[in-house]
Structure formats: C-alpha cells, structure tokens
Structure 1
Amino acid sequence: MTAPSRTLVFWVPDWPIHALLRDQEAADEPQERVVATRAAESPGISEAPGAAEIPGISEAPDAAIPPIALLAQHRVVACSAAARAEGVRTGLREREAQSRCPTLVVHPHDPEVDGRRFAPVIAALEQLIPGIELRRPGLCAMRVRGPARYYGGEEPAAAALLRLAAELGLPLARVGIADGLFAAEQAVRATATTPGIEAPAEAVRIVPPGGSAAFLSPLPVSRAASAGFADLLVGLGIRTLGALAALPEDAVQQRFGAEGLTAHRRAAALGQDRGAEVRPRDPVRERAIELTFEPPIDTTEQLAFACATLAERFISALTADRLVCTALRIELTDDVGLRHEREWLHPHRFTAADTVGRIRWQAASAVRETERGGAGITHVRITPTHTDRAAAHEPGLWSTEPDTRVHHHLSRAQSTLGHTGVGTMELTGGRLLGDRQRFVPWSTARSRERGSRASAAGPWPGSLSGATPSRVFPSPLPSELLDAEGRAVGVDEDDLLTATPVRLRVGDLSLTETVQEWSLPWALRERWWQGTPTRFRLQLQLEGGDAWLLFHESARWFAEGRYD
C-alpha cells in the first residue's frame, strides 16, 4: 500500500456567510461587467488577478460582519463568528438560535450562491497554482509537490496562497498541509497548539512528513466516520482515531464492511482511500467572445455586417473543440451604458449565419424598447450557455435531420419578415385549451424546462384529461345552455347543474339538435387570492353526434372547442 502524497488544503472559514454578503453587495452595486476576457491558456504558474478585477469581492474584515445565520429547514447550517460568540451553533433550531442571540439576522441558505461566488476565487487560485480539486465551496485541495518546488518549500507556497487570499478580500483564509487529503483537512482546522502541528505562520498549519498518524490519533472518531457509524464505534469503546487505527484492518473490514474500512484507512493515514488522492478539476475555458466598436454602430444591418467575422470566430473555436452550441447569450451595450441581454435557443445547432441573425433581431428589438437617445451599439459579447458534442448532432444514416430546403426557405423568409414572422405552435401547460398553445419562432428551440409553469407535464388541476376537441376557438364563444322550458341552466352551490340541459346555443351558430348526453361539471379554481372567479367545465353531446366543451364563468357559458 502506497503512502499518501503531501496535500495542501485551502479553506475559507464561514464561506456561506461571505458568499451571502458578496451576493448582496453585488446586487446593490450598479450592474457592470468586466469587458476584458482572459484567454484560456494551458495551466501554469502565473500572477493571479487582484480583488479589484473580480466582481463581487469585498475587502471588509470579518470582524465587521454582524451576527448572521443561514437556515435550511429551520436549522442553522452556517453562522458568522459574531453569532458563534453569542452561543449560536450549527444544527440549532431557528428559535433557539434567536433566543441565544436576539440580534441574530437570519437568511435562507442557497447553495447555488455559495458555488457561484466561489467560482472567481478558485479561478484566481488556478492561475497561481494549477491542478486544484474543489471539495466544496470554500474548501479546495491540491498536491503540494509542484508548488513547493516552485516557491522553494511548503511554507513559501502556503504564504503565496495566503497573499492571494488577502488580495481577494479573504484575510482569514487558512492553509493546511499533511500526508493525505483527510489529514490535511484536519490540519487546516487545528490550532497552533495542537500536538503534531507546526504553525510557521498565523494561518498555516503543517504536519511534518510521516507525522499524520500521530497527529490524527487523539482526534474523535466522528472526524472520520458518519454520525451513525461514529455512535456505533463509541458504543463499542472506540472513541479516538488512534484506537480505530490500532485495530487489524481485516477485522474492521469483516465486521463493518466498506464504511469501516474507509474510516480505518483515514484514521491510520494510509493511502489508496477513495478520497485520499486529489483529483484536479478540468480548467474552465472562457469561450465567450466580444467586440468593441468606436464609433458606435447605429443600424442593425451595419452591426450584423461588423459581427460576421466575430460569429465565424465563435463557431470555429467551438468546432475546433468538437463542440456545437445549442444555446447562447448575446449582450449588446450602447454608448450610454444600457445593456440589452437575451438568451437564444436553437433546435439543432448554431451556425455563423444563425448567430449573426440573432444579433440583428436583438439589435432591432433593443432599438424599439429603449425609446431614448444614443449613438448606437459600442460592445457585443457572445457567450455559449449550452454546448454539446458535435458527434451527437451529426445526421443519421438515412438523413434524420429536417429537410434542408424547408429550413433554408423558411429562414430566408424569417430574415425578411423578422424573428416572429415565421414560426410553429408548441403545446405548453395550462388549464383552458387556449392557454396551452404557444407560438415558437422558427429556428428557436422549444421549451426545455420541466416542472416550470410553462411545462405541459403539469400538474394542472381542472385541466382536460381525456380527448381534446379537434377544433379550439382562439377566443371562447359566448353560449347559452337552456332547459326544456327555455330557462338558463347554471351551476349551483353543490357544483351541479341547476336543471337538465336540452338546448345549446353557441354564438351565431344555429344548432337544432337537442342535448343527448352531458358530463358532470368539474370546478377549475385558480388564483383565488387574486379574486379570479371559479370556473366550471362541462362536456356535452348533441343528438347529431357533435360534442362540445364548455366552461361556466360569472353566470355565463362559453364554448372552448368542438369535437368534430
């Protein structure tokens, strides 16, 4: 069994609190974007950007952070140092935390904010030291051998990371170095007086080579095992990692299985653990491309002509990496600082001509919406928001792609009539039949969101679950439902018809057949908090075989569709 390699762990304590504050700060500041795009070079050791180059980075000291707690399911998942000083701890219920600290400010925890705000931090770290594994937002690991050789030792390498952290507004960041990832994670949380720890600097904790087992020995067994397994070990009298490491490995595996073997190897500071080796993440390549104009361009055709080369470079760069773009975001900025941003989808893949066409359409809509002066567009940025392997978009053996001639002619007509001039219909979510239709412009991908309000998957209480009418009226037709004596049939308090329906009148149509069969009315209640009246739907069939779908609203009947 190989010995674990030397590992360095970079940790930002209370990162969820920092992420929340940075997100709030970014929301309060004017929305400005950094125009310069860093080229994606091969990973190497280089000078890292400062805090001023990364949006949302605050240099406020942690001592100025008030008592804050983040909650998930009414329990504290993270809190600031000021909150801990008042007795707030992770795992407390919300009311107990507030009773301990009356000035506590609580916010819901959003893991997406943690990851999004840590992304620029880890990108800056990768420019300083390549080959970083992101363990979770606020905690990352790397092999220490390369940085130690470059900077002249483990301590200088740690000092370089801490200097970068200070530039990024993270003065309380810490570095831990030990044999193996688990021991390094425990070292970064240790104090300067912990046995087996060397603290050459205030925020640096180093376990000497070969000393990880002795350092881990007095730690509680809960550090290396899950809560349930740790309780089991404590019940058996195994309370420390040293006691667990002293057991024979074969006996631990036979008694506790894979979970016990993993905890034993962690406690003994052995290699070949599934979490012992650092797995560097693939470097994130910046595929966005942009262009600045001086003087500004004021017409859509001039803008499209000027962006033709930009679109060719954008598509060629993706093609070189064997990728295709199925969704992209276009940002247009005018000379007075107004940014018009929109995301475009494509059912197949974007070409250079498609990209130029989207720029033209977006510029035309921006001119109509702004309604204020300005010399024109000064900056264009294209960012791929969804890419896919090119092999997945190649035509099949029998040409499964849409007819290229149809696509060509409809695209030409769309370029003349505008983005919404040519399109198809899409089935979306809704209760009434008229709400379930959506116009989709040609060369635009259909809705991909499942579970959203526009999704046809539902659920949609009160919607029609059976066969739908073959003819749906764009606007429901006013109708009358009468009984044998010519009186109007309505819906009573029990959600039932007030009389037996005999005659149906729909708009100007002359219907001579009497009503033969009808369903029970079913209620359609939605947005009652906004005062929307309750509607009742009804299916009925006439003697001639025609069937109708009606709904009742505010003492009136309307025809939604007709079954032919």
Structure 2
Amino acid sequence: MTVRTLVVWCPDWPVTAALSTAGLDQQVPAAVFAANRVVACSAAARAEGVRRGDRRRTAQGRCPELVVFEEDLERDARVFEPVAAAVERLATGIEVVRPGLVALPVRGPVGYFGSEQAVAERLIDQVAGEQGVECQVGIADGLYAATLAARTGLVVPAGGSAEFLAPLGIAELDQPAERRGPERAALVDLLRRLGLRTLGAFAALTERDVASRFGADGVCAHRLARGAEERPPSRRRPPDDLGVTQTPDPPLDRVDAAAFAARALAESLHDKLAAVGLACTRLGVHARTEHGEELGRVWRCAEPLTPTGIADRVRWQLDGWLRAEDRPTAGLVRLWLVPEEVVDATALQLGLWHGGAEDPGTGAERAGRALVRVQGLLGPEGVFTGVLGGGRGPSDRVRAVPWGEQRLPSADPDAPWPGRLPAPSPATVPAEPVAVEVLDDSAAPVGVTGRHVLTGAPAQVVLGGGPPRAVLAWAGPWSAEERWWERERRRSRLQVVLDDAEQTALLLVREDKRWTVEGIYD
C-alpha cells in the first residue's frame, strides 16, 4: 500500500542557493557545474540554450554572460533549511529528500485545511511569502509519483499514479539529483535499446521477468514505474536502542566543530546498525541547546546510507541550523541520531573503493595502500588501471595506466569520432589479434568496397583455421579512415552472432585486406 504523499519542489535549487549566497538577482543567467558539466541552470540560462550536461565551454559559448558556480552540497543544504522550516510551520512531519525537495504525508494537512488543493495553495503561498522562493507542489500515491507530479504542479487522483506515470519517458527512472550511480543510468539505456521507451511499457512486464533479467535494481525501478513504493511496505522498524547520542563539551556553536562531531556520530550509528544487519534509509537528526531549544529534521534517502552519507546529512543539517538567520540562541549541548527506517544491510553493497570519488573514505585508502604493496612486489608495471578515452574501437579507447601515475586519456573522449563503434562495447578484447575468415553463401570471401559496403552477406566465419561456423545475425560495417603516424589507416568493423550453443557474438575488424577478431561480447 502506498502512502498519499505531498512534495514541495523548488526548481533549479542549486542555482537558487548559489545566487542567494552570492547576493545576485535570481533572474540572471547562471549555472552550477560539477566535473566541468552543467548540473543545474536557471530559467534565464535555459532561454539562451544552456542545458544540463553541457560542457562549460559549450554553455558559455551559448550564453557569454553566464554566471558560473561550482557544485556545493553544503551550501545547497544550508540555504534550504529556512525553506524546510517554513514548510514545517504549516505542516508537521516533513522529510528532506534532498536540498530543494521535501515530502510529507498529506493526510494530516488535508484534515486541517479541508482539501489537497487547498493544502498545495497554502504551502506555495507560505514558502513564497516567508522566503521569497518559488516552489511547486505535487500530490500522488507514493514519493516517486508525487515528485514527478510536482514538476507540473499536479494533484494526481488517489489510485491514479500508475496511469499518470505510464506515458512518461523511461529516462524518468534516472533522476540526476538522486545520484543513484551508473547502474541506474545503464539500466535506463538498456531498457531504451530493448524498445521499452515509457514507464508504462516497463511496468507491463511481470516482476518475475524483471528480477530474472535486470536484478535487484531493476525490481526497484519496476516498482516505481508501476506507481508502487520503491521498497515493499513491510519495512522493519528499528529497535529503540539503535540511536546514538553525543554531548559536546564545550557546546557546539561553530560549523567546523559540528563537522567533526557529525563524522563521529555517523560512524557510531553505522557500526551499531551493521552489528545487527541493518542499514538506514530515513535518518532523524536532533539537537538540544543550552537554553533547552529542541531542533529536529528527518532526511529521506533513496538508497541505504553509507557512513559518509550519514555524516554528510548530519553536517549539512548542523550547518543549516548554526548559520541560519534565526539560529539557536545558544550552543548545542546534545546531539542524537535516530534511524527512523531501516532495511536489511544486504541492500548496502559497497564496492572495493567504498564508493570511490563520490564517497571517499577509509575503504578507498586501504585499497590504495594494498595496491601500492602489490606494486612493490611486482614492480611499477605490475598494477594497472584502465582509463577510458577517445577512439573508434574498444582497443583504441582504453589506456592502461600504472597505478600512481596521472590517469589521463590518450585522446579526448568527447571529440567527434566518425565511424565509432556503437554501444555496447565487447567484454573481452584479445591481447593478440585472432585471424578469421568471413564467407558468403557461396563460400567466397567477404570484403569491403571503397564505398564502405560489404561485397556479400556474411554467412560463415572461420576462426583460426577451424571448421566454418554459421552466422546467425550480423551488423555493420562501420568504416573509418585514420592517420596513424605517417600513413593512412583504413579499418572497417563488423558484428556477427554465430549459430552455436552459446550464440557467440564477435566484433571483427578488417584492415590490410584481412579480418581479425577485435572483441568478444558476453
């Protein structure tokens, strides 16, 4: 059963927060960048052609007067705290999903104001009147549907979330602000290539088929597409003794001291939950001042929180309290964290790098030290990491870099590469080329003409002098002429699927009038 949910959404919040901090007018064209790409832009910038995902040079070329800011999550959370407080003064029980978006069960406010439409109007007036911030309200069954409804200020009728979601594009499963990682983006790309271009088409599949083909993340995405909650309703309530408390001495009144306390509390809470096999998905952050003031806020998270994720949210919240205009009248003498909702810890599966650059921590440091030790045993060329760069084929694009050296691509990956092999890339690239013959129905060799056309339809493939193997399907060719040192290099690529028990898929490349195996697909 899904909960009737109201979402208050402030569009382009990173830009709004950045302009507010800089003291600039909200109507100027501005954009926030991370890794040299636009992650959010103002309406004025969009009117000039700036879009999310644009490179900085492209964005500034389209809008020369663009005001540029770097991504700062602490700034976003700090400036958003007064907005969240304004919403809470009208409707209690709010949860901060991320800076710029809060959610709350709609049942309580409706009982007081009379209707969902009245609640939405009062909240919009409240935020605009107190904070001067534009916002939109969406109401639907479940957080996901309500969040999408907020984009158009829509109140979805009860029981109508699935119908509302059905015509929306499949890309809505990968919300950039949710930071779900590359797995969700890869899932969306795969669904699109399979012809499932809307949420309704994906929702029409059975959950059993989705689980067998797409795994756990696919099941979560499938539940969202159907208008259900991402996690089943039988979520475990945490025992009362899982909260952690700290009594700072002296009282906290500085942001740097609060950041140190946040990390210690986060690690303590994570260790306590891990000991009983749980992970937190809704985190309550609470504090008490010397004058007895009580502060509290609940953060809702799409994914189970890592120690760094917990520490970030605690730090953001303390930063918002301590730097707000109506900041507490005294220092914080007690801090405590409460896991408001938990899931099995198997939902939190950390990789070797403990989240890598997005979640730096002791796990990444330990892995780095281990690789240095291995490198000491095997020599500098004993440990390599791959760097993806520009090129047309898989062997061209990946550069192996010894551990510890600067990880720079051999060529610009964003430059145009005519004749580039389309996705997906092969899983295995042979270290040495494997000779192969491609034959048509009459057993005549298949070549490529000067106009980049095959001389015949591939019907058989002979690998390394073995018996001919029938071709089940093929695609291509993709041809390109390249300058390799001082000579012209002309290569054509062809994909074939062999009619054998494994249905082996190969990437073949033709150069100097001979075919070789360049890659093998899983």
Alignment TM class, shorter chain as reference: 0.3 to 0.5
Greater radius of gyration (CA)? 1
* TM-score of the pair, normalised by structure 2: 0.45
